[in-house]
Structure 1
Amino acid sequence: RDLQFSASAPAGTKLGLLQVNGETAWHTYDGISWSPGEPSLGTMQAVQVDVPDEPVAWQTHGAPDHNRKPIVRAITGDGTHLAGTTTLLELDAVGTPMNIQWTKNNEPIPGATQRWLQLANLVPGQAGRYAVTLRNAFGIENSNPVEVNVHYSLTTVVAAGEGAIGVEPSLPTYPPGTEVTLTAKPGEGLGFDNWEGDASGTEESITIVMDGHKTVSIRYLSDNQPPTVAIVSP
């Protein structure tokens, strides 16, 4: 509808109408008339009024995110996550009403049409680049993709004796398929016995493949302590 200002509105008053493309169309009041023309306010359209010598403030006729092309502000929940955990991708966007479609590696995800996307009990196959496509009567917006990585954890334990375990590469978490070399580092006066858990053998240096969460332990013995012997019944 047309806007009406009282006769006391000061010359130089400016009124900005938010347009569909996100830009603001300004109209200036000289005390008698508007330039370049009298503004007309649409339903649910955002308005900014700039009065000389007064603070600038937004006033809205309805919600400011209506009647505009969708705009993606952010997608949260991306990053590196451990296998078996759950992450929630959440969309922050304006431009309602709008239709939402999540994609993974540029392919639509069936049924993923909400402002959030839950990835439960993560497995490596869920890793990828996630994005959203937003549509309404004013246009289409494609978000930049966010990366979701699914990694495995490695836990090392010295189960007996004193010493350490060398880990190469030493990372907080490991991408699937990473080869990790473990090296026995017994304390002074101790010898190496054997590896246990998700590794086995008596070699001082072994290599494991990260195809799941791994826990590897080691035993160190004093030089005069006999090694562990496993007896298997025939």
Structure 2
Amino acid sequence: MALTTSSFFLKIISMILFFFQFISLSFAQVDLSHTKFCHNLTKLVEQLARTSTNRGLIDRACRGGDGKAFYTLLERNNKLPPIAKTNLAKKGCDRGYTPACVYLSKNINSAHNPQKTVKNLKGSCIQGSVSACASLGIIQNREGKLKDALKSFNFACESGDGESCYMMGKIYEKQGRMKSAIKMHKYSCDKKGMARSCLVVGKDFQKSKGSDKKAIYFYLNKACKGSIEEACFLLEKL
């Protein structure tokens, strides 16, 4: 009886193993180049990540697939050389995947087609991507297109990105619009908790005639708590 039961379970295990071999073979043989498979397969492989190391599935899926899978390959292969990462990001960005475009914007000098990267970021920004607008603003600011950068940063700032609010203040400073700059930095500090903006506001209060010592302390202390060493140094002098 025990032997019969053991044989039964062995048959069950054999059937299960055969089933998984069949599934694996099917994945290996099926043409995964069609776009509609890529995103779904990426999700599947992510779910199987703990039990499978077959990155070739994503690679095959990406041949003509959507941008996310290319970016997934980039993220999972930390040892890739910079040029290989750039190539993967470019393929992802060219297919409209915003995080890949954001990656390229931070490495714009190594991008194969900076103009296309900017074009894709603009498209994503128009569609409401906060990260795309912020990255677009960084590029525009770097290129000296301050009016365009302000528009991009403004959308990202209003959508909750504190760094973009801070950058708006810096651009106003570049333009010599100091009242607008201080107003934006104050907003960035008070509403978004940006320590660097708090430092700017605190130093501005110090320069003012009949300066408000409580306000100076408040903003410098806030900046100091945000790990801005200059603010801590200025606090010690109060």
Instruction: State TM-score, norm by structure 2.
Output: 0.25
**Structure with greater helix percent:** 2
Instruction: State TM-score, norm by structure 1.
Output: 0.26
| Structure with the larger RCO, 1 or 2 (CA within 8 Å, 6+ apart) | 1
Bigger Rg over Cα: 1
